[in-house]
Amino acid sequence: MLDRYFIRPTTIDRIRSSWIGGAIEEYVNWLAAHNYAARNVFIRVPLLLQFGESARRAGATTLAELPAHVDPFVNAWIGRHGRQYSETQHQAALRGIRGPIQQMLRLTVPQLFANSGVPEPFSDVAPGFFDFLRRDRGLRETTLVQYRQYLGRWQNYLQRIERPLLPNLPPAVVTAFITESGQTLDKRSVQSLCSILKVFFRYLYRAALAARDLSKVIESPRRYRFANLPRSIPWDEVERMLKSVDRRNVIGRRDYAVLLLLTTYGLRGREVAALTLDDIDWKHSRLDVRGRKADHSTAYPLTPTVGEAILAYLQNGRPETDQRAVFFEAYAPHKPLSRVAVTMRAKHYLHRAKIDVFRPGSHTLRHACVQRLVDAGLSFKTIGDFVGHRTPDATKIYAKVNLKALREVALGDGEEVL
């Protein structure tokens, strides 16, 4: 495969004569199989040769010893070339140097990384907790991410103050942790933290690991329904954002279709990411959205604008693959677009259009879609069914920003709208 990229036999010989030449060639074959652009090979192979030579001079003789030499090599490389970099460029350079090396090592010596994942919080004292969440409570992996995040904070706090979790932790320690967390987390996040801690402490008590049930001493902060406004933006700003997309390239064609799905149907980011080719019925101009948050499916009419945008991406942008997902990452290895990526693309175009909104992302555009339906005078039941709200209460918050209805309520006899 090397001769596919390098014309001179001497170059190929030099690569193969390196003591890690076999690993480099295996990595090049992997890059080709995953449709990486040729420029990636031309940039990464010289870097890997330098890394191999640096590790050899430092005493490495086997591939198993290479991981210990990654950071010294990266730091030395940045030291030689990074003085003129800004902080952003510096971080990008770190990723650009370390990434290919670690990618090659994961491919060629995978056993070194088999157990390299971060252990779940409190796996030493409560090893069955996350299995309990999966098996007995049926939580999704996306929900377990929150449990890992907040319990990780709790574990780090206990380590910092040198307090053991079991068998009998004073309630004051829990209160102090929640109070400290409230200084950096918003009220919604503190509520989530308290809920997760309650589940955790109830499990410890029922599993006879803790002497008392500390969940009873946790009091979540009070949040009032409809206390916040939706994160919607006016429709003219939505149109300005859509106009900012450059559809002359693959990324622009993909992102334009994604943004139209978010704004036209009010889909969630994960619903856009989960769309497959089987969900688009071209013959009957229908779009099926399955497995929504409320555990139901919705069929939408496929509007010409949305259909043309998706078709433009499918014909001139979507990589050749046997996977059924609609949207893919633009660069090899071309994995399906994730819900996080959908949110980040929405955030990118909101910033590009200079639209200032709290917590910009895909949900901003979902709120904008709902707000447009409210302004059009549709009932909240109809709107809730359209966007897949689980309960009517989820839609009622938009009554607070229905300016026309609020004016009618406020007006008295003989008064005029200012």
Residue 366 known to be catalytic: yes
CA 344, 366, 143 angle in degrees (round to 5)? 65
Per the CB < 8 A criterion, the answer to whether 234 and 223 are in contact is no
Residue 351 known to be catalytic: no
Instruction: Catalytic residue, from 14, 135, 293, 407: name it.
Output: 293
Instruction: Catalytic residue, from 44, 318, 363, 372: name it.
Output: 363
Q: Shortest CA distance to 28 belongs to which of 117, 136, 140, 103?
A: 103
Residue 352 to residue 242: CA distance in whole angstroms? 10
- DSSP secondary structure letter of residue 289: E
Per the CB < 8 A criterion, the answer to whether 305 and 264 are in contact is yes
3-state secondary structure 223-258: CCCCCCCCCCCCHHHHHHHHHCCCCCCHHHHHHHHH
Residue 268 known to be catalytic: yes
Q: Shortest CA distance to 112 belongs to which of 101, 120, 97?
A: 101
- DSSP secondary structure letter of residue 276: B
Residue 309 to residue 297: CA distance in whole angstroms? 23
**What does the buried/exposed string (b/e) look like for 232-242 if buried means 16 or more CB atoms within 10 Å of the residue's CB?**
bbeeebbebbb
**Alpha-helical regions (H) of 82-231:** 87-108, 129-135, 141-161, 171-181, 187-206
Instruction: Catalytic residue, from 268, 292, 334, 372: name it.
Output: 268
Longest dimension (CA), the chain: 93
Main-chain phi, psi angles of 287, to 5 degrees: -120, 120
Which tokens go with 258?
Answer: 């994604």
Residue 1 to residue 407: CA distance in whole angstroms? 71
Q: Shortest CA distance to 165 belongs to which of 216, 114, 204, 219?
A: 204
Per the CB < 8 A criterion, the answer to whether 257 and 327 are in contact is yes
Instruction: Catalytic residue, from 69, 98, 366, 372: name it.
Output: 366
Active site residues: 268, 293, 363, 366, 389, 398
